[in-house]
């Protein structure tokens, strides 16, 4: 019961950033257990998409191990661990929850760790075009961020760079939540272009079927 109370706090469409922060501060100590129990694969899917992009000079022209990468919603470092294993050595983390970042810190995965919310408005913590690549797994969903967060992540990336993220199907598909509309708006405006959008299984053994699938979206930033 205590595990359920602390670890399976549900965020809703109307949750605030403060509620998202509290939820993850509370569940930090059991996040890796929840992730194992539900067969969570967000970090794996995003790094897989990143690997494929790095292997194609049409998608990314200058892959280097010291390229500047930001892991948004880094949590306990799932993406950071995979990038470190691939010898990427210039990776920063951003997360709303200090408790999640505290669990990532001893793993020495990130150059800089920024504790701040990803917002739908300008964030002083990250410069425009500061990064070559932004990766974001399991963070862009209703209850955690507003659709404008997608535009912020795109802003963090240099022209020619990549923004790769997972988004649960039950956040992207419903018209009116605003996530797919924001993507369309940014594509139409010429800010970015779609490289690949794939529907993938996010949780192998989800608590509820509506959490099973996500899209993994790779965008190239144009301006």
Nearest approach, Cβ of 58 to ligand SAM (angstroms)? 27
Indicate whether 192 belongs to the interface with ligand SAM (CB under 6 A): no
Q: Which residue is nearest to ligand SAM (CB)?
A: 75
Tokens of 82: 């995979």
Instruction: Write down the least CB distance from residue 79 to ligand SAM, Å.
Output: 6
Angle, alpha carbons 41-44-172 (nearest 5°): 60
Task: Give least dist CB 173 to ligand SAM, A.
Answer: 19
**How far, in Å, are 27, 67, 164 from residue 183 at the CA level?**
30, 25, 13
The yes or no reply on residue 218 touching ligand SAM (CB under 6 A) is: no
> Per rule CB under 6 A, is residue 74 in the interface with ligand SAM?
yes
Cβ–Cβ under 8 Å, residues 17 and 117: yes
State the nearest-atom distance from the C-beta of 199 to ligand SAM, in Å.
18
Please give the distance of CA 101 from its chain centroid, rounded to a whole number: 14
Q: How many residues bind ligand SAM (CB under 6 A)?
A: 21
Stretch that binds ligand SAM, among 50-58, 59-67, 70-78, 196-204 (CB under 6 A): 70-78
Residue 96 interacts with ligand SAM (CB under 6 A): yes or no: yes
Of residues 134-173, which lie at the interface with ligand SAM (CB under 6 A)?
A: 137-139, 144-145
Q: How far is the CB of 66 from ligand SAM (least distance, A)?
A: 22
Q: Which of 49, 117, 172, 203 binds ligand SAM (CB under 6 A)?
A: 117
Residues that bind ligand SAM (CB under 6 A): 17, 20, 24, 42-43, 73-75, 78-79, 95-97, 100, 117-118, 137-139, 144-145
């Amino acid at each position: 019961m205590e595990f359920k109370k602390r670890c399976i706090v549900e965020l809703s469409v109307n949750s605030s950033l403060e509620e998202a922060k509290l939820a993850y501060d509370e569940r930090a100590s059991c996040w890796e257990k929840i992730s194992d129990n539900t067969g969570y694969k967000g970090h794996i899917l995003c790094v897989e998409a990143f690997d494929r992009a790095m292997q194609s000079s049409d998608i990314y022209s200058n892959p280097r191990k010291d390229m500047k990468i930001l892991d948004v919603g880094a949590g306990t470092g799932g993406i950071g661990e995979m990038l470190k294993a691939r010898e990427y050595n210039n990776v920063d983390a951003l997360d709303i929850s200090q408790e999640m970042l505290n669990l990532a810190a001893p793993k020495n995965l990130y150059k800089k760790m920024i504790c701040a919310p990803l917002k739908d408005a300008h964030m002083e913590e990250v410069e425009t075009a500061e990064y070559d690549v932004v990766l974001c797994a399991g963070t862009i969903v209703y209850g955690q961020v507003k659709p404008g967060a997608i535009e912020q992540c795109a802003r963090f990336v240099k022209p020619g760079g990549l923004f790769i993220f997972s988004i649960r199907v039950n956040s992207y598909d419903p018209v009116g939540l605003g996530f797919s509309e924001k993507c369309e708006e940014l594509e139409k405006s010429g800010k970015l272009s779609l490289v690949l959008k794939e529907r993938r299984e996010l949780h192998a053994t989800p608590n509820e079927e509506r959490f099973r699938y996500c899209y993994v979206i790779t965008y190239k930033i144009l301006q």
